[in-house]
Structure 1
Amino acid sequence: MDQFTSATSLQGKLSDGRVVAVKQLSESSNQGKLQFATEIETISRVQHRNLVKLYGCCLESKTPLLVYECLENGSLDHALFGKGGLNLDWPRRFEICLGIARGIAYLHEESSVRIVHRDIKASNVLLDADLNPKISDFGLAKLYDDKKTHVSTKVAGTFGYLAPEYAMRGHMTEKIDVFAFGVVALEIVAGESNHHTTLEEETTYIFEKVWDLYENGNPLDFVDPKLSKFNSEEVLRVIRVALICTQGSPHRRPSMSRVVSMLTGDADMAGEEVIKPSYITEWQVKAGSSSSYTGTSSQAGLSSSSTTQQSSGGGHAAGGDATPATGNPSPMFTSIIDEGR
């Protein structure tokens, strides 16, 4: 497997005066420089208005360097959760959500190189001068791809965004990006991150919050309190699309092209069934439990707690949905391996 661990991006300047972002990669395989350069050349031809442009690479040192365009307004997570000066109103948030969806749809269905990103998250979405979203690090997805199979021996991703089937079994298809997009869409609506570094038991994750409000008929209470005005129809559409994208079974998740159509209102969502996923209901830890794991998060495969990969005997298949949503789920233990880039 051609593995690279990304370091912190630095800024540089090209001979023509363009400011660029430079990412250093520490190579941990025997991949030759020619093969690496060929892959970079291929990926650099993947261009879309919602993808960060990859200019190329530098192979003069022992550690390869990737050279990207530099975007003025930083990352989406900083804009949503940080203390920066950006104030994203609802119209802008909706356009950002739609732009991200279009970028992923291009990677999955339209580009000359079919790419599963594997690490869609708010910090990997950058904003240009006009606050248009651009997905970054999509090139690393191909560089990380091993043996071009659908099963990966290493799970690369970030806590809070990993699809259950990928976290547990390394089953990698484009549907893991669909799941991660659903998480980002919920973060955009709530203005709250689903990636927590705390192990505090009282931590409430956005999945628990949105499903509680959705089931009780108050989904608009999920909206970021900082948004004094918003289009209720658009908000409800985004929430519903996000819940469809984060269904436990990958077969229940739509393609990203259909996600775009649903967000724009061009596709009818009336026939889309939204079932409460079992990963939300199956990690109910009772007080005084003698279980070997800790925490009360009901997000199997979504919390920030990390353990070694394991699975329980019995219960639903990994990533399944509870049927019906109010049914009594069977126990399932899920764990995640996180290989942050």
Structure 2
Amino acid sequence: MFSDKNLLGIGGFGSVYKGKLRKPRSIEISVKRVSHESRQGTKEFIAEVSSIARLRHRNLVPLLGYCRRKGELLLVYDHMPNGSLDKYLYDRSAGTLDWRQRLHIIRGVAAGLLYLHEDWEQVIIHRDVKASNVLLDSEMNGRLGDFGFARLYDHGANAQTTHVVGTMGYLAPELGHTGKATPSTDVFAFGAFLLEMTCGRRPIEQHERERTIVLMDWVTEQWRKGTIIHAVDTRIPNGFSLDKVTLVLKLALLCSHPLRTARPTMRQVMKYLNGDMLLPKLSPAYLSFTMLERMFNGEFNQNMLADASSTSIGAISDLSGGR
């Protein structure tokens, strides 16, 4: 029986409950009960089952089983006792994470995405990378979950055009033009996730007088003014490494670059985070959404477009190099 006292959360497609699996061994589980009212419920159920039933990685939430019962769609997962990551970023009553914990979670999610993009038998695009879809196990390891929007295809094949899904603030700009989810669109969302983790703020925020703050633009502006350290979450206890924080912020902006070809792969991201590669030397202007907006509005002349194009190519060259 599903009881309100065991309710863990309610999402766009249904509810998640805590439970216990008694056989073959007693373990705590989370059961996702896909909503009848959801028009995409069956599609989400099929996507989750087909894409993650056989996945095995320490930074992904493991799917233990699934069934259809009396028309209901049920997904059974390992229970993550520390819940969703976003509560530690935005719920002040839940406590906060120090920098060591945040960096550990960041590396874990990056490792999970690398596995999905390159190391599994097919390419899996998550399509909804964000803090609320990262769950924390008993040791505070970050595990990427909720594969309801996932798409998969064979290595070497081209991504197919699909309906654009995801969350505002994490959607790569090219999705609106091509409708194609690729590893690069996941990288864009991962960049927004890095900003969440470091700044403790949502990618898009509504402020007084209907003023909208785009976190990427705000951090880029702080960098331009030489005050990028002001973007860091003031609630991080016990201090942090200025070099590491700056690295993560600049990597976040590079991952969320408006031009798809300028973004790194998740393998390169892991090398940057582990200190095995140096970030390319880029200016704040190169990483700004404003540049892309001007290009689309026709405010750049042909010479400026050529300069922007050559800069992009140079960035790709730098990204493929090492120390």
1:11 corresponds to 2:18: yes
Q: Quick check: 2:96–2:236 contact (8 Å CA) kept in 1?
A: no
1:256 corresponds to 2:294: no
> Structure 1 254/136 Cα, relative in aligned 2: closer, same or farther at 3 Å?
same
What amino acid maps onto 1:65 in structure 2?
L
RMSD (Å) for aligned C-alpha atoms: 3.4
Q: Quick check: 1:44–1:56 contact (8 Å CA) kept in 2?
A: yes
The correspondence for 2:210, drawn from 194, 201, 204, is: 201
The correspondence for 2:123, drawn from 79, 97, 114, is: 114
Q: Quick check: 1:75–1:124 contact (8 Å CA) kept in 2?
A: yes
State TM-score, norm by structure 2: 0.77
**CA distance in 2 between partners of 1:195 and 1:131 (Å):** 26
Q: Deviations over 1:44-99 (max 9, x none)?
A: 22111110011121122313211111111111111111124332011111111111
Residues 1-341 of structure 1 correspond to what in structure 2 (within 5 A)?
6-15=13-22, 16-25=25-34, 26=36, 28=39, 36=46, 40=49, 43-138=52-147, 140-142=149-151, 150-196=159-205, 200-227=209-236, 229-270=239-280, 275-277=285-287, 279-280=289-290
Superposition deviation, residue 168 in structure 1: 4.1
Query: Normalized per residue, which structure has more helix?
Result: 2
What amino acid maps onto 2:200 in structure 1?
G
Structure 2: gaps of 5 or more residues: 1-11, 309-323
Superposition deviation, residue 246 in structure 1: 0.6
**CA distance in 2 between partners of 1:239 and 1:314 (Å):** 30
Q: Quick check: 2:258–2:292 contact (8 Å CA) kept in 1?
A: no
**CA distance in 2 between partners of 1:236 and 1:260 (Å):** 16
> Structure 1 30/127 Cα, relative in aligned 2: closer, same or farther at 3 Å?
closer
**CA distance in 1 between partners of 2:258 and 2:148 (Å):** 27
What amino acid maps onto 2:245 in structure 1?
V
Query: Normalized per residue, which structure has more strand?
Result: 2
> Structure 1 175/268 Cα, relative in aligned 2: closer, same or farther at 3 Å?
same
Q: Quick check: 2:42–2:73 contact (8 Å CA) kept in 1?
A: no
**CA distance in 2 between partners of 1:274 and 1:48 (Å):** 35
**CA distance in 2 between partners of 1:266 and 1:150 (Å):** 30
Structure 1: gaps of 5 or more residues: 285-311, 325-341
Q: Quick check: 2:96–2:235 contact (8 Å CA) kept in 1?
A: no
**CA distance in 1 between partners of 2:117 and 2:31 (Å):** 25
Q: Quick check: 2:162–2:180 contact (8 Å CA) kept in 1?
A: no
What amino acid maps onto 1:263 in structure 2?
L
Q: Quick check: 2:126–2:147 contact (8 Å CA) kept in 1?
A: yes
> Secondary structure at 1:276's aligned position in 2?
helix
**CA distance in 1 between partners of 2:95 and 2:84 (Å):** 11
Q: Quick check: 1:207–1:280 contact (8 Å CA) kept in 2?
A: no
What amino acid maps onto 2:20 in structure 1?
K
> Secondary structure at 2:250's aligned position in 1?
helix
> Secondary structure at 1:73's aligned position in 2?
coil
> Secondary structure at 1:203's aligned position in 2?
strand
Q: Quick check: 1:102–1:260 contact (8 Å CA) kept in 2?
A: yes
What amino acid maps onto 2:268 in structure 1?
R
Q: Give the length in aligned residue pairs.
A: 286
> Structure 1 323/69 Cα, relative in aligned 2: closer, same or farther at 3 Å?
farther
> Secondary structure at 1:204's aligned position in 2?
strand
What amino acid maps onto 2:28 in structure 1?
V
Q: Quick check: 2:67–2:75 contact (8 Å CA) kept in 1?
A: yes
> Secondary structure at 2:64's aligned position in 1?
strand
The runs of at least 4 consecutive aligned structure 1 residues that moved more than 2 Å come to 24-32, 39-43, 83-87, 148-153, 195-205, 270-284, 312-316, 321-324
